[in-house]
Amino acid sequence: MPSIYESKLENGEALTLKELFYYAEKLFDGKQYDKSMEYYGKFIKEKEGWTGDKLIACDRLADMFRQKEDKENEMQIVFKSFEFDLPRPEFLCRLGVLFTELGQINMAVFWYNLALSIEKPEDHLGFFKEEYWSWLPHLKLCGCYFKLGDYNKAYMHNELALGFKPGDVSLLHNKKSLEVLLNNNKPEGQVNHKS
């Protein structure tokens, strides 16, 4: 049985803006990803529409481009999200991941640090993923600084992530590994940073 949206489309009727979004959501939930991408794409091209829905549509599109390993379109849709609201950590961290994958670690560091500088909005507009506003950018910065050989900054960001997720097994493992590296790289007579 066709949905209300499909019936309207079959009858040659146009979907309202809200219906475009809900139909894309229904297709996404039904794992009809290519078709949902089409309708999310139509939705975000429209000038009007609720900001929260626009951000959700961009996030879903970015997820689907990632599944297709289409980094170029994933990056484009992230930048498109900036047209609807101030840059959000959810999207800034996505840029960090993309630049890390491209081997541009300093660029990734920039985007993760920018994510950390954004204040939580009072009204998150229905689009809010807590980890991007708390521990995740710190974890990602820990990894970036590790790759850059700056173990002090890697350790600092791991500690900041642990402040949000005390007892996290991965973060505790990072802590131990970084402490070993810091102690091995310490010039003789240097005070241990954990005194």
Kindly list the domain boundaries of the chain, sorted by start residue: 1-85, 91-195
- The Cα–Cα gap between 154 and 107 comes to 16
Amino acid at site 114: L
Say whether 91-195 and 1-85 share the same fold. Answer: yes
pLDDT of residue 187: 54
pLDDT of residue 186: 64
Q: Which positions ≥6 away from 163 have C-beta within 8 Å?
A: 135
64: left (phi over 0), alpha (psi -120 to 50) or beta: alpha
- The Cα–Cα gap between 147 and 145 comes to 5
- The Cα–Cα gap between 88 and 86 comes to 6
Q: What does the block give as tokens for 14? A: 């146009």
pLDDT of residue 157: 98
pLDDT tens for 60-70 read: 999 999 999 99
Number of helices and strands in the chain (H, E): 10, 0
- The closest of 177, 103, 117, 110 to 147, measured between CA atoms, is 103
Mean pLDDT of 7-18: 90
- The closest of 184, 102, 190, 96 to 142, measured between CA atoms, is 96
DSSP H helices, 129-168, are 135-148, 151-164
Task: Give the three-state DSSP class for 139.
Answer: helix
User: Is 0.95 topped by the overall pTM?
Assistant: no
| pLDDT above 60 for 190 | no
When pLDDT is cut at 50, 70 and 90, the band that residue 136 belongs to is very high
- The Cα–Cα gap between 102 and 41 comes to 26
- The Cα–Cα gap between 113 and 111 comes to 5
pLDDT of residue 3: 84
- The closest of 26, 54, 64, 46 to 9, measured between CA atoms, is 26
Lowest-confidence region among 7-11, 42-46, 186-190: 186-190
- CATH code that applies to domain 91-195: 1.25.40.10
Fold observed for domain 1-85: 1.25.40
pLDDT of residue 70: 98
